[in-house]
């Protein structure tokens, strides 16, 4: 039995995982990263449009700061987010982006003088200040009051991940590629590492660590069409569930992105609409202003996806052999702009559609894109229920996105969470609290358990075909747990998925019985795990009888703060259960800096919480009194909802920006 010891084990070599790894290394702790693929091939490389950070360097970002970013994020989340976490995030995003610039990310910069931009289908001249020349610039994105999304053309994730990986190499972070975490080793609520499988030779390896971080990204591939890479399967979420101790948060909160190309579902970034692209129907008519006169194409993603679906349901979609779609028109931006700022989009259109987006409209429709749910953690990134288990990035629910993430807030979250969680882990490791003792027999027990499961799959005869079960799971999720949801479909989805889960215990590995590199074996055990994840999402959605952010119930169209201002917490305490256990965690209004209100889209259908009015009154009173006393925005914020003392000391400083004396 191969056993490898380290201080910190990080499962996942995307932006979040690598940022955690470099952070703990800088604090003098050993770190090993496990990844299914070489880190530079992690899904983070696919991020196109940009990273939100309230730098306010450009003309259209003037007036931006942490407060505006915070307010956009909370409204975007439909008040589902943890406001302290959102504050920590917005405070640290400017620091994280400058750090990345220092590590080599070639952020697109402000150019002094006049520039032509397309805003609301019209050409506008924007004049950039001399003093801002050479500073990091930003583009417009959905659901934001200011232009805040910093970018490197439309290859932002690619350049961030390459810089991050180079930094990790410089810090001598050890990366074990093609190693798949299969099970968490734990005892008495303490995480002690994982059992991993070498995808090339099939060997099981035990990694023992004082702290283990899950940074495995989202679980989009439980849907049949997704913008996610094929490795975004959520198997590590299932691994957490299978401990019976760790919990998942808000798994039903799943985002659909408005503009994935048809039929394959590859994304064209929100930057297309941020830069001025328009959504058109079968008649070439620009329909979004009719639905959302204020934000139009740049309403929050969940809103735009719903409006597009609504419009197609009215018969306004373009018929195609792959189903209805709408058009994204970026011809209006001109070839020069597309070739400079949207060149990945151009390549995607050329290679996958055979069209030139400088001339042709792009066929698009909303497609599964992002997982707001994940491993439930405290603000430190540590699981609420399992000591020594941490999570960061899209895999986590720490929870700054609530029920809808703003575009550009995810890559930003990966690096901010990564840098903060690395500090909290290091503090944990520096204290005697992290001491642990583990016996070899315990490790053997967990390794043997995984080996037995693999053997059972390989020895099975006359069993189920994992590909069939998985295909059905994907279809159920797409058809019944999609953009619009309703009780009947959700109930069917849960019943059918439960049945698939039962059948999955009888999977046979057809074709090859090899224990080494064997895609059929991999698909078999991953399918078992994915169905569990799908069940947490479907059951959470079925029980949540309200509409909030991306969770939209046609039978319960109101956002019901009175009954549903709470997080869904799922667990799987007994491995013989065929459904997850669902609990709820209240979101406390009394401590909110921004009490629940109207998000600003469509009609206000909120059913208010009894405490909302009193919290609004209290916030207004405190703000007014402090303003009269001449307090600045930081003092007022601190009085409303203190968060600074939760941050590691080195990240507490005020961010510099134009027009603000610090
Ligand atoms: C097409 C696309 C475009 C996007 N554009 C933007 C954008 O412009 N701005 C923005 O903010 N967000 C964007 N996002 C979202 C953003 O890219 C992701 O949320 C983010 O990059 C996730 O990073 P991560 O580090 O959490 O996970 P990932 O980058 O997904 O990395 C996960 C890692 O975990 C590893 N892994 C998974 N399972 C296991 C296992 N069991 N064992 C071992 N290793 C494992 C993988 O190998 C990988 O290294 C986009 C998403 C998509 C799909």
Atom of ligand 1 nearest to the CA of 412: 11
Tens-place pLDDT, residues 375-419: 999 999 999 999 999 999 999 999 999 999 999 999 999 999 999
Tens-place pLDDT, residues 117-168: 999 999 999 999 999 999 999 999 999 999 999 999 989 999 999 999 999 9
Q: Are residues 24 and 425 in contact, defined by beta-carbon separation less than 8 angstroms?
A: yes
CA dihedral (83, 84, 87, 93) positive or negative: negative
Atom of ligand 1 nearest to the CA of 235: 41
Ligand 1 centroid to Cα of residue 13, in Å, is 9
What Cα–Cα distance (Å) separates residue 61 from each residue in 56, 81, 458, 555? Answer: 4, 24, 58, 40
Atom of ligand 1 nearest to the CA of 267: 1
Q: Which of 9, 47, 48 best tests ligand 1's pocket when mutated (most atoms within 8 Å of CB)?
A: 47
Q: Are residues 487 and 494 in contact, defined by beta-carbon separation less than 8 angstroms?
A: no
User: How many beta carbons lie within 10 A of that of residue 508, not counting itself?
Assistant: 18
Q: Where are the beta strands (DSSP E) in 300-345?
A: 326-329
| Helix pair 156-170, 409-430: axis angle to 10 deg | 20
Angle ∠(104,117,91) on CA atoms, nearest 5: 45
Find the radius of gyration of the CA atoms of the chain.
Answer: 24
Three-class DSSP category at 396:
strand
Specify the pLDDT at position 661.
65
Q: Work out the pLDDT band at 662, boundaries 50, 70, 90.
A: low
Residue 7's DSSP bridge partners are none
Three-class DSSP category at 519:
helix
Model confidence at 602: pLDDT above 90: no
Closest-CA residue, ligand 1 atom 31, reads 14
**In angstroms, rounded to a whole number, what is the distance separating the alpha carbons of residues 582 and 539?**
8
Tens-place pLDDT, residues 572-590: 999 999 999 999 999 999 9
Closest-CA residue, ligand 1 atom 9, reads 408
Tens-place pLDDT, residues 23-76: 999 999 999 999 999 999 999 999 999 999 999 999 999 999 999 999 999 999
Q: Are residues 288 and 296 in contact, defined by beta-carbon separation less than 8 angstroms?
A: yes
Closest-CA residue, ligand 1 atom 13, reads 47
Q: Where are the beta strands (DSSP E) in 399-538?
A: 464-465, 484-485, 507-508
Phi, psi of 566 (to 5 degrees): -155, 160
Q: Are residues 254 and 50 in contact, defined by beta-carbon separation less than 8 angstroms?
A: no
Tens-place pLDDT, residues 620-661: 999 999 999 999 999 999 999 999 999 999 999 999 998 776
Residues taking part in catalysis: 257, 273
Q: Are residues 57 and 655 in contact, defined by beta-carbon separation less than 8 angstroms?
A: no
Ligand 1 centroid to Cα of residue 15, in Å, is 7
Specify the pLDDT at position 600.
87
Phi, psi of 305 (to 5 degrees): -60, -40
Mean pLDDT of 365-371: 96
| Residues sharing a CB contact under 8 Å with residue 75, sequence separation 6 or more, in sequence order | 143, 300, 594, 597, 599, 600
Ligand 1 centroid to Cα of residue 160, in Å, is 12
- Cα distance between the two ends of the chain: 57
Q: Which of 40, 42, 52 best tests ligand 1's pocket when mutated (most atoms within 8 Å of CB)?
A: 42
Greatest alpha-carbon span in the chain = 78
**In angstroms, rounded to a whole number, what is the distance separating the alpha carbons of residues 75 and 90?**
14
Q: Are residues 228 and 218 in contact, defined by beta-carbon separation less than 8 angstroms?
A: yes
| Residues sharing a CB contact under 8 Å with residue 437, sequence separation 6 or more, in sequence order | none
Tens-place pLDDT, residues 75-111: 999 999 999 999 999 999 999 999 999 999 999 999 9
**In angstroms, rounded to a whole number, what is the distance separating the alpha carbons of residues 415 and 408?**
12
Query: Shortest CA distance to 166 belongs to which of 43, 17, 39, 63?
Result: 39
Closest-CA residue, ligand 1 atom 10, reads 408
Specify the pLDDT at position 548.
97
Atom of ligand 1 nearest to the CA of 411: 11
**Count of alpha carbons within 13 angstroms of residue 79, beta-carbon side:** 28
Quote the percentage of the chain above a pLDDT of 70.
100
**In angstroms, rounded to a whole number, what is the distance separating the alpha carbons of residues 650 and 639?**
22
The DSSP letter of residue 279 is: E
Specify the pLDDT at position 578.
97
Cα 137 to chain centroid distance, Å, stands at 23
Ligand 1 centroid to Cα of residue 48, in Å, is 12
Specify the pLDDT at position 342.
95
Give buried/exposed letters for 8-18 (b at 16+ CB in 10 A, else e).
Answer: bbbbbbbbbbb
Closest-CA residue, ligand 1 atom 8, reads 49
Ligand 1 centroid to Cα of residue 464, in Å, is 31
**In angstroms, rounded to a whole number, what is the distance separating the alpha carbons of residues 509 and 28?**
44
Tens-place pLDDT, residues 532-567: 999 999 999 999 999 999 999 999 999 999 999 999
Specify the pLDDT at position 614.
97
Specify the pLDDT at position 525.
98
CA dihedral (582, 9, 652, 148) positive or negative: negative
Ligand 1 centroid to Cα of residue 14, in Å, is 6
Specify the pLDDT at position 297.
95
Q: Which residues line ligand 1 (CB under 6 A)?
A: 11-17, 34-37, 39, 42-44, 46-51, 156-157, 180-181, 215-217, 227-228, 231-232, 235-236, 267, 269, 369-370, 393-395, 407-412, 414
Atom of ligand 1 nearest to the CA of 217: 27
Q: Work out the pLDDT band at 220, boundaries 50, 70, 90.
A: very high
Atom of ligand 1 nearest to the CA of 15: 25
Ligand 1 centroid to Cα of residue 309, in Å, is 26
Residues across the chain: 662
The DSSP letter of residue 351 is: I
Tens-place pLDDT, residues 604-630: 889 999 999 999 999 999 999 999 999
**In angstroms, rounded to a whole number, what is the distance separating the alpha carbons of residues 261 and 357?**
12
Specify the pLDDT at position 328.
98
Atom of ligand 1 nearest to the CA of 395: 26
Closest-CA residue, ligand 1 atom 27, reads 217
Ligand 1 centroid to Cα of residue 80, in Å, is 22
Specify the pLDDT at position 511.
83
Tens-place pLDDT, residues 284-305: 999 999 999 999 999 999 999 9
| Residues sharing a CB contact under 8 Å with residue 197, sequence separation 6 or more, in sequence order | 179, 180, 182, 203, 204, 205, 450, 454
Mean pLDDT of 454-481: 97
How high is the mean pLDDT of the chain?
Answer: 96
Strand-strand pairing, 581-586 and 566-571: antiparallel
**In angstroms, rounded to a whole number, what is the distance separating the alpha carbons of residues 49 and 354?**
22
Q: Are residues 391 and 383 in contact, defined by beta-carbon separation less than 8 angstroms?
A: yes
Q: Which of 10, 11, 12 best tests ligand 1's pocket when mutated (most atoms within 8 Å of CB)?
A: 12
């Amino acid at each position: 039995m191969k056993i490898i010891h380290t201080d910190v084990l990080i499962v996942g070599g995307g932006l979040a995982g690598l940022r955690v790894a470099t952070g703990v290394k800088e604090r003098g702790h050993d770190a090993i990263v496990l990844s299914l693929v070489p880190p530079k091939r992690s899904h983070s490389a696919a991020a196109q449009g940009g990273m939100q950070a309230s730098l306010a360097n450009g003309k259209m970002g003037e007036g931006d700061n942490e407060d505006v970013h915070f307010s956009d994020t909370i409204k975007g989340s439909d008040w589902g987010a943890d406001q302290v976490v959102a504050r920590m995030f917005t405070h640290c995003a400017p620091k994280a982006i400058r750090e990345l610039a220092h590590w080599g990310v070639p952020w697109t910069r402000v150019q002094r003088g006049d520039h032509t931009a397309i805003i609301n289908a019209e050409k506008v001249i924007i004049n950039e200040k001399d003093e801002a020349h050479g500073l990091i610039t930003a583009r417009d994105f959905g659901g934001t009051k200011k232009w805040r999304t910093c970018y490197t053309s439309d290859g932002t994730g690619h350049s961030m991940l390459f810089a991050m990986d180079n930094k990790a190499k410089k810090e001598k972070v050890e990366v074990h590629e093609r190693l798949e975490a299969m099970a968490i080793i734990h005892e008495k609520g303490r995480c002690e590492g994982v059992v991993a499988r070498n995808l090339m030779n099939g060997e099981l390896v035990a990694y023992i660590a004082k702290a283990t971080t899950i940074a495995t990204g989202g679980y989009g591939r439980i849907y049949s069409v997704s913008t996610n890479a094929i490795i975004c399967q959520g198997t590590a979420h299932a691994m957490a569930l299978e401990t019976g101790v760790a919990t998942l948060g808000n798994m039903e909160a799943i985002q659909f992105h408005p503009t994935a190309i048809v039929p394959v579902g590859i994304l064209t970034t929100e930057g297309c609409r941020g830069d001025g692209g328009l959504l058109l129907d079968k008649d070439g008519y620009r329909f979004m202003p009719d639905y959302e006169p204020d934000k139009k194409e740049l309403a929050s993603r969940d809103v735009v996806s719903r409006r597009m679906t609504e419009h197609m349901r009215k018969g306004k979609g373009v018929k195609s052999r792959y189903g209805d779609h709408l058009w994204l028109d970026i011809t209006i931006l001109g070839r020069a702009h597309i070739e400079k700022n949207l060149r990945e989009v151009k390549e995607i259109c050329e290679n996958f559609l055979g069209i030139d987006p400088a001339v042709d409209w792009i066929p698009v429709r909303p497609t599964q894109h992002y997982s707001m749910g994940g491993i439930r953690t405290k603000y430190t990134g540590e699981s609420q229920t399992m000591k020594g288990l941490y999570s960061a990035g899209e895999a986590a629910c720490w929870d700054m996105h609530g029920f809808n993430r703003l575009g550009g807030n995810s890559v930003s979250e990966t690096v901010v969470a990564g840098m903060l969680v690395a500090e909290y882990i290091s503090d944990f490791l520096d204290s005697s609290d992290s001491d642990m003792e583990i016996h070899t027999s315990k490790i053997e027990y967990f390794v043997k358990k995984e080996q037995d499961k693999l053997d059972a799959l390989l020895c099975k005869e006359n069993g189920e075909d994992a590909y069939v079960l998985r295909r059905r799971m994907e279809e159920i999720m797409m058809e019944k747990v999609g953009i619009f949801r309703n009780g009947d479909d959700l109930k069917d989805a849960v019943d059918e998925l439960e049945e698939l889960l039962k059948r999955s215990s009888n999977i046979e590995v057809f074709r090859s019985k090899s224990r080494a590199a064997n895609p059929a074996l991999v698909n078999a055990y991953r399918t078992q795990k994915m169905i569990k994840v799908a069940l947490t999402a479907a059951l959470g959605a079925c029980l949540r009888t309200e509409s909030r952010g991306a969770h939209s119930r046609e039978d319960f169209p109101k956002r019901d703060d009175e009954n549903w201002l709470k997080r869904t917490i799922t667990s799987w305490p007994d491995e013989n259960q065929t459904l997850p256990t669902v609990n709820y965690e209240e979101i406390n209004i009394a401590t909110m800096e921004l009490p629940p209100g109207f998000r600003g889209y469509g009609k206000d259908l909120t059913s208010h919480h009894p405490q909302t009015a009193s919290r609004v009154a209290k916030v207004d009173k405190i703000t007014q009194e402090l303003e009269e006393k001449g307090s600045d925005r930081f003092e007022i914020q601190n009085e409303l909802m203190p968060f600074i003392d939760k941050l590691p000391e080195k990240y507490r400083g005020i961010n510099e920006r134009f027009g603000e004396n610090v």
